[in-house]
């Protein structure tokens, strides 16, 4: 059967049975009335329009050793595994057999030979050209090299594979032909539960960019649970139409595009307040304008990195607001401001002043429990004057929406530990009735309309 829309047009009398109207509204995704006639569109089961009208793809995300791991299925037959979600990069990559110089992982590496839907991407193809660092192999495959800011790299071959997520209906959603890096050589160090990374950045190879058109738009939302949350408690990352962050308490800040680091989510931070003390990002100088796009929102970095001068001013104000004496500097703790206390500190609270959006941070997002009875300030300095990094610890317990269609990032304070069983983050209808169901109900509808 061809993938076509089926239009059924019927006349209706002046008086319509109430049940018929309710039936129409409930079962048909698109109803139009023109000149006294109903036009009902029946959409087949495999139509992408059904997906983004009624379904939001999603996947559970849990925390493990300061990394956030997304559960997914790889290949055919599907194999369950976990990969780190990373808004600071755009490449999806997994460790593949054979793999030299790779980190040890608990779960098996991905074996391309065991999947019937795996295929290498040819060098010179359109898919290969989406990555800017490729070479042609002896087999004419598209070999890739991908590097990170810490100079770690992953190397392998670009390939296509089926990835499977869940959905708001609870049914699996198979994403066919997803481009990813099958890594055969890597010095990237991840924790032992991760098979690789899910790039969620703005670039063309990120998961959100690749699947956005199938789900109504390039957008996704995530809600990261706090560090040391029980690993059995997960919160969803949701993709496409229906993942928008809306409602009371939502604040939004515009994305900033730059010619360099095109995968990054650049936003502009104006300053940070410590309780009632406001610290402008430019040192308070009216002669020094605050640069646009001076902060990157990165779910792959635990701590928030700030320019050195601003960091020291921030630490000074935090120390003044905390009644406890800080611990002596300990290199094993990363030269951070730390306190010895059996439970997290009571304060202070910080407010990150993004352009158009004030985001309140409580001690849960400010101090990291690094050891039993030791909590350290989750901010540190960077020698980079180009941009800072808003780390994943500060993002915890916020529902954050990344909307590439509207070019905004939205924040909503949320208890992310209570989203684990939510069928939908944003009220997307969980029931999806496909074309064969419509055809079964159509005779009943016709009988009602004739009475």
Active site residues: 86, 298
Name the packing angle between helices 435-450 and 18-27 (round to 10°): 170
Question: How far is residue 324 from each of residues 74, 106, 318, 355, measured CA to CA in Å?
Answer: 49, 41, 11, 33
| Residues in the chain, overall count | 451
Reading the block at residue 54, the tokens are 């009624």
Q: Are 82 and 194 in contact (CB under 8 A)?
A: yes
User: What one-character-per-residue DSSP string does 50-101 give?
Assistant: HHHHH--EEEEEEEETTEEEEEEEETTTTEEEEEEEETT----EEEEEEEES
> Can you tell me the distance from the alpha carbon of 72 to that of 165, in angstroms, rounded to the nearest whole number?
6
How far is C-alpha 318 from the chain's CA centre?
31
Q: What are phi and psi of 33, to 5 degrees?
A: -120, 125
How far is C-alpha 93 from the chain's CA centre?
16
Tell the burial category of 1 from Cβ atoms under 10 Å away from its Cβ (0-12, 13-18, 19+).
Answer: exposed
The 10 Å CB-count burial string (b at 16+, else e) for 137-157 is eeeebbbbebeeeeeeebbbb
Q: In the 8-state DSSP scheme, what is residue 309?
A: H
Q: Are 240 and 56 in contact (CB under 8 A)?
A: yes
Q: What are phi and psi of 38, to 5 degrees?
A: -85, 140
180's CB contacts (< 8 A; 6+ apart) are 91, 92, 93, 94, 158, 159, 160, 161, 163
Q: Are 441 and 26 in contact (CB under 8 A)?
A: no
Q: What are phi and psi of 171, to 5 degrees?
A: -85, 150
> Can you tell me the distance from the alpha carbon of 336 to that of 327, in angstroms, rounded to the nearest whole number?
9
């Amino acid at each position: 059967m061809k993938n076509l829309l089926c239009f059924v047009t019927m006349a209706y009398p002046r008086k319509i049975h109430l049940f018929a109207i309710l039936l129409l509204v409930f079962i048909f995704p698109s109803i139009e009335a023109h000149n006294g006639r109903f036009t009902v569109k029946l959409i087949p089961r495999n139509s992408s329009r059904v997906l983004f009208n009624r379904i939001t793809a999603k996947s559970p995300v849990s925390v493990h050793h300061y990394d956030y791991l997304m559960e997914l299925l790889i290949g055919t037959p599907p194999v369950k595994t976990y990969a780190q979600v990373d808004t600071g990069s755009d490449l999806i990559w997994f460790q593949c057999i054979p793999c030299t110089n790779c980190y040890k992982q608990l779960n098996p590496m991905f074996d391309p030979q065991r999947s019937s839907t795996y295929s290498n991407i040819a060098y010179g193809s359109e898919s290969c050209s989406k990555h800017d660092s490729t070479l042609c192999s002896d087999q004419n495959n598209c070999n890739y090299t991908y590097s990170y800011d810490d100079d770690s790299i992953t190397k392998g071959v670009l390939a296509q594979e089926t990835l499977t997520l869940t959905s708001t209906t609870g049914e699996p959603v198979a994403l066919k032909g997803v481009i990813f890096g099958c890594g055969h050589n890597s010095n990237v160090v991840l924790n032992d539960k991760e098979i690789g990374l899910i790039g969620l950045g703005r670039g063309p190879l990120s998961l959100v960019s690749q699947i956005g058109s199938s789900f109504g738009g390039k957008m996704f939302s995530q809600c990261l649970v706090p560090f040391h949350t029980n690993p059995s408690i997960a919160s969803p990352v949701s993709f496409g139409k229906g993942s928008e962050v809306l409602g009371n308490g939502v604040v939004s800040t515009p994305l900033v595009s730059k010619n360099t680091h095109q995968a990054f989510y650049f936003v502009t931070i104006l300053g940070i307040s410590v309780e009632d003390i406001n610290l402008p990002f430019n040192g308070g100088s009216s002669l020094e304008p605050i640069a646009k796009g001076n902060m990157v929102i990165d779910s792959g970095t635990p701590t928030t990195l700030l320019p050195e001068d601003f960091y020291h001013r921030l630490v000074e104000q935090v120390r003044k607001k905390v009644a406890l004496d800080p611990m002596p500097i300990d290199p094993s703790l990363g030269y951070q401001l730390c306190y010895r206390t059996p439970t997290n500190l009571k304060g202070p609270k910080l407010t990150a002043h993004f352009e158009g959006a004030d985001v309140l941070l409580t001690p849960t997002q400010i101090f990291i429990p690094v050891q039993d009875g030791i909590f350290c300030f989750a901010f540190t300095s960077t020698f980079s004057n180009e941009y800072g990094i808003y780390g994943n610890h500060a993002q915890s317990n916020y529902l954050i929406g990344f909307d590439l269609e509207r070019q905004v990032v939205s924040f909503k304070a949320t208890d992310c530990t209570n989203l684990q069983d939510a069928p939908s983050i944003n009220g997307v209808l969980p029931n999806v009735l496909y074309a064969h169901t419509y055809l079964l109900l159509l005779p009943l509808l016709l009988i009602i309309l004739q009475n």
